[in-house]
Structure 1
Amino acid sequence: MSMSMTLPSALRRLPLRRLVCLVVLLLVAAWVAGNWPVILAGLDKLRGADRSWLLAAVVVTGACWIPVCLLRQGTVMERLPAGRLLASQIAAGSANHLLPAGLGAHMVTLRFFQGCGISTARACAALALYSLAQPIGRYTLLLTLIAVCPGAIPLGALLPAEYGTLALLLLVGGLALVALALWSVRRLRGLVRDFLRTALTDARALHARPARVLALWTGALAFPALQGCVMVTVARSLQMPVPTVDIMIAYLAAGIVAGIVPTPGGIGSVEAALLIALVGAGSPVSVATAAVLGFRIVTVWLPLLPGALVLAVLVRRKVL
């Protein structure tokens, strides 16, 4: 059988989500190839970065697991074992880079919740609440910083009009597809109705307990704040000529834009959005490139190996 006949059949067997991610990663690879001189200049600048600031970035990255654990605890009524919760979230961070849209982390957490005696329906409801609280925390922090420093950055420089149009089109298209699926499949409507009933019941019960409310929303606000601090420390290691608040706003806005494209671990989409945001905030391109590379090394590649090892241990001990 010829290559021309086997390749289309292989592509047809690929799930649509995986095919979309493959296309996105190929586009990122093409962008990297076309901008290789800029990336090399960024790497050169990163080699000359201040080591003490980079060490601070590593420490703050490790601290980011604490609000994630708080956020997870705030989504369930049961008291979770703190040690295993922390281990599961370290493992989830590694699994998050295998599947898009946070699915890897959600799968690990789902297994952890089930191991703690939480039913599958309530565990899925907890994951949904987590997925809702996290962007609410990010949006709240971003809007607060913009309100405190209204003239810090022109939003048009961070979010060009074409990106806003693309986001709106994708949102409308996604909602239309969901509505079509619900209208067409009666069984799916029943499943969604039952899931929403469970999720709303659990959410009301959780918000009647002050300890869970505190854990949920403290974690939702603290996680993007600490991640923004990582970006600030990496930028300071490179002496980026951009104020701290502007860097925080750039990071938060870039994270929202990058969420439009569901790549594994945000690889590709985060880099592109963050680079555009930092340059829009006033950073030179080479310094912004180095800062983005340093941020991804500290927050993704350094925790990847320990996260994979913890994941293997938890699976071997049947915690997951």
Structure 2
Amino acid sequence: MSSRADTVPAKGMGWRRWFFGLVLAGALVGAVLHWGEIERFGDLLKRVEPAWLLAAILFQISTYASVAAGWSAVLRRAGTPRPLRRLMRIAVTKLFADQALPSAGMGGNVLLVDQLRAIGVARGTAIAALLVSMIGYYAAYALFALAMLVLLWLHDRATPLMAGLVTMFLLVAIAIPGLALWLRHRGSAPLPPRLERIAVVRSLLDTVAAAPGDLLRDRALLARVAGFNALIFVADAATLYACLRGLGATVPFGTAFIALIMASIVVTLGPVPLGLGSFEATCIGTLRLLGIPFETAVAATIVLRVLTLWLPLIPGMALIRSAVRPHAAKHHHG
């Protein structure tokens, strides 16, 4: 069993480079197309109260700490703890790739196992960290999607389209971790002949089967990781709230929460890299629906997107490029 798995890194080197290149290309294209949005950010900074802007930045930094804390909980449970600082570097690359590739938030998962192995985590434990964090992420996401729909209903702003989007998202939120757990449960059982001939499917099955089952069955661990993932959504909503308050809008936190979650769902379901256009349109439209003036909604959304996407662009690209080089060096010397 180990022979096939051990050959994956060498054989997959070209695929890894292609994947990393795709992430970087998508980010660069998005930056060029939306350079005007980045330029407007400079003008908007003059209007945002410094204290609220600082709060928004701190909320964003906390999202990377929350992602890393979830992985850290799994690694500690497996007896292989790693410094939170090193895990936060991986979190930057993962969250950046999640946004750069339109794959229902799955793009960064391709990076995670490789990066954890690069810091000395066993392959099975790294895969378990991926699966547990995936389950925790979608559990928190689904809970907040339902909470958002309830809040819209309480505001008498829920529409059939919104209910349909949430329903579609819930199906995705159940299907993705469900598929991963089903593959883990199958272990090394033979696949149907047609699927067996697909190399990617065989590789995925081998990968998922390597995760230790005791970690996936630890309900306390799953709940803890789901809690860390919930903090990510709360911090993102708090960032939008700080942007709105910094621009002079007196709004309840629920308004920012509803707009953030609705925009995130549209991006998750949509095929647009970096959520370009779709996030902004949905966030602004939802804020308008909830009574925020158009100009304020646009300005707050632009500040939010720069803080969450464009400012991390440079460190995200640099860390992804540095992630490829160790693999390339190992492959060359091997």
| Shared fold, TM over 0.5 | yes
**3-state DSSP of counterpart to 2:269:** coil
Match of 2:267 among 244, 258, 261: 258
Q: CA deviation at 1:220?
A: 1.6
**Which amino acid in the other structure matches residue 304 of structure 1?**
L
Does residue 302 of structure 2 align to residue 293 of structure 1?
yes
Match of 1:284 among 269, 285, 293: 293
Q: CA deviation at 1:60?
A: 1.1
Query: For residues 157 and 246 of structure 1, what CA distance do their matches in structure 2 show?
Result: 19
Distance of aligned partners of 1:270 and 1:135 in 2 relative to their CA distance in 1, 3 Å threshold: farther
Match of 1:84 among 86, 97, 101: 86
Which is worse superposed, 304-313 or 289-298? Answer: 304-313
Counterpart contact for 2:240–2:256, Cα < 8 Å: yes
User: Which residue in the other structure is 2:118 paired with?
Assistant: 115
User: Which residue in the other structure is 2:252 paired with?
Assistant: 243
**Which amino acid in the other structure matches residue 286 of structure 2?**
A
Counterpart contact for 1:75–1:206, Cα < 8 Å: no
Distance of aligned partners of 1:272 and 1:75 in 2 relative to their CA distance in 1, 3 Å threshold: farther
Match of 1:130 among 125, 129, 133: 133
Counterpart contact for 1:70–1:215, Cα < 8 Å: no
Query: For residues 304 and 214 of structure 1, what CA distance do their matches in structure 2 show?
Result: 31
Q: CA deviation at 1:110?
A: 2.2
Q: CA deviation at 1:229?
A: 0.5
**Which amino acid in the other structure matches residue 65 of structure 1?**
Y
Distance of aligned partners of 1:297 and 1:158 in 2 relative to their CA distance in 1, 3 Å threshold: farther
Q: CA deviation at 1:296?
A: 0.5
Which is worse superposed, 96-105 or 309-318? Answer: 309-318
CA deviation digits over 1:140-194, x for unaligned, max 9? Answer: 1343466578513522298276x579x58x97xx99xx9xx97843445766655
User: Which residue in the other structure is 1:72 paired with?
Assistant: 71
Give the number of aligned pairs.
283
Q: CA deviation at 1:256?
A: 1.5
User: Which residue in the other structure is 1:8 paired with?
Assistant: none
Query: For residues 55 and 283 of structure 1, what CA distance do their matches in structure 2 show?
Result: 22
Q: CA deviation at 1:218?
A: 2.0
**3-state DSSP of counterpart to 2:114:** helix
Q: CA deviation at 1:292?
A: 1.1
Q: CA deviation at 1:286?
A: 2.0
TM-score, with length taken from structure 1: 0.68
Match of 2:226 among 200, 209, 217: 217
Q: CA deviation at 1:129?
A: 3.5
Does residue 154 of structure 2 align to residue 156 of structure 1?
no
User: Which residue in the other structure is 1:54 paired with?
Assistant: 53
Query: For residues 74 and 58 of structure 1, what CA distance do their matches in structure 2 show?
Result: 25
Counterpart contact for 1:65–1:90, Cα < 8 Å: yes
Distance of aligned partners of 1:239 and 1:83 in 2 relative to their CA distance in 1, 3 Å threshold: same
**Which amino acid in the other structure matches residue 54 of structure 2?**
L
**Which amino acid in the other structure matches residue 242 of structure 2?**
T
Aligned residues: CA RMSD = 4.5
Query: For residues 100 and 132 of structure 1, what CA distance do their matches in structure 2 show?
Result: 19
Counterpart contact for 1:158–1:250, Cα < 8 Å: no
Q: CA deviation at 1:278?
A: 1.5
Distance of aligned partners of 1:59 and 1:197 in 2 relative to their CA distance in 1, 3 Å threshold: same
Query: For residues 41 and 288 of structure 2, what CA distance do their matches in structure 1 show?
Result: 13
Distance of aligned partners of 1:48 and 1:182 in 2 relative to their CA distance in 1, 3 Å threshold: farther
Identity of aligned residues (%): 22
Counterpart contact for 2:243–2:303, Cα < 8 Å: yes
Distance of aligned partners of 1:146 and 1:264 in 2 relative to their CA distance in 1, 3 Å threshold: closer
Q: CA deviation at 1:96?
A: 4.5
Distance of aligned partners of 1:316 and 1:206 in 2 relative to their CA distance in 1, 3 Å threshold: same
Q: Which runs of 5+ in 1 are unaligned?
A: 1-13
The higher relative CO (CA closer than 8 Å, separation ≥ 6) is in: 1
Query: For residues 305 and 157 of structure 1, what CA distance do their matches in structure 2 show?
Result: 39
CA deviation digits over 1:289-316, x for unaligned, max 9? Answer: 1111110011111222234445556666
